Amino acid sequence: MAVVTVLYFASLRDTRGLASEQVESSAPDLQALYAELQSRHGFSLPVNRLRVAMDGDFAGWGDGVRDGSEIAFIPPVSGG
């Protein structure tokens, strides 16, 4: 069981209604963590359109969920 801070941006934030929250999860990796949150909150963005970051830098979907970390799901970007 890990306790992490999840950051939501753009349409994920709109759907969740929060910019961030503390989440308790036994998800084995970041992809499973997203799947858990997606099924709970109804995010329409599939995991294959997102990137993921942990503790301020890009991470891999197969990376473990590190207790105490800050995790961000990155929707398709639209800067510039």
Partner 1 sequence: MNFFELADQPIVIAPLRTALAHPMAGAFASFEGWVRDNNDGRTVDGLRYEAYAELARKEGERVLREAFEKFAIVDARCAHRIGELAVGELAVWVGVSAAHRGAAFDACRYIIDEVKSRVPIWKHERYREGDAGWLHPTPAPPEH
d(CA 9, CA 20): 9
Using alpha carbons only, how large is the chain's radius of gyration in Å? Answer: 12
Residue 42 in contact with partner 1, rule: CB under 8 A: no
Looking at 3, 18, 21, 58, which residue binds partner 1 (CB under 8 A)? 58
User: Which one-letter amino acid corresponds to residue 43?
Assistant: F
Residue 35 binds to partner 1 (criterion: CB under 8 A): no
Compute the distance between CA of residue 54 and CA of residue 49 in angstroms, rounded to an integer: 17
Does 14 contact partner 1 by CB under 8 A?
A: yes
What is the contact surface with partner 1 in residues (CB under 8 A)?
7, 9-11, 14, 45, 49, 53, 56-58, 72, 74-80
